[in-house]
Every structure is written in C-alpha cells, then in structure tokens.
Amino acid sequence: MGEKKPYVPCPIDTGCVQVPAEVEELGEFLARNVHEVWARQRLGEGWQYGKTLSRENKIHPSLVPYEELSESEKDYDRNTCMETLKAILALGFEIKKKETKEEK
C-alpha cells in the first residue's frame, strides 16, 4: 500500500469570468440564503446560539440572523456564492432573471 498523495484543490478557473451586475445582486441574496440554510440545519441538529463555539455542547456564535454576522463571516458566504455563480458562467450557462408581469 503506497502513501496517500496530498490533496491539491483544483476548482474551475473563474479568473476571467465577468459577473454582470444583476448576477452580483443574486450573489448577495444567495449568501444570505446559504447562511439561513446552514443555521436551519444546525438548529435542527440541536445546536444553540452561544458567544463561544463548543462542538461538544452544540453551541455556535454564528447562529444569528445574517445581518448580525461579522463582515468576515458574510464575506465567506459571499465568496462561496460568487465563486459558484462564476463557475456556472464559466461552464457556459446563462443566468437571467425571469420577467415578471410588471416588467413585460
């Protein structure tokens, strides 16, 4: 049995992807939603809010509304969402908002 090779991440290259303004707005909306999904999952697993993280006691300081997160925590969610949107665009997909009756 040989040695396990070190893991080298290789995400989709999104360096040249230009994100349209309306997609940037979507990124912020998705970042908020990612936090909400994460928080709902943790609460469903019995986690509670507390000032200090304790995995043993299932206490997490980020179990607060998105608006109350620090900018660095929001930036983590924003970056994850924006890189996902950029990957979608880099793969050749289009992201466009469906027209509402008022916009027609």
pTM, two decimal places:
0.80
59, 53 Cβ separation under 8 angstroms: yes
- pLDDT class for 78, splitting at 50, 70, 90? very high
Report yes or no: 45 and 58 within 8 Å, Cβ to Cβ.
yes
Question: Does an H or E element contain 60, and which?
Answer: strand 59-60
Taking residues 56-62, report their average pLDDT. 98
pLDDT at 25: 87
Locus of tokens 């179990």: 63
Contact present, 91 and 12 (Cβ < 8 Å): yes
Q: Is the pLDDT of residue 3 over 90?
A: no
pLDDT score recorded for residue 64:
98
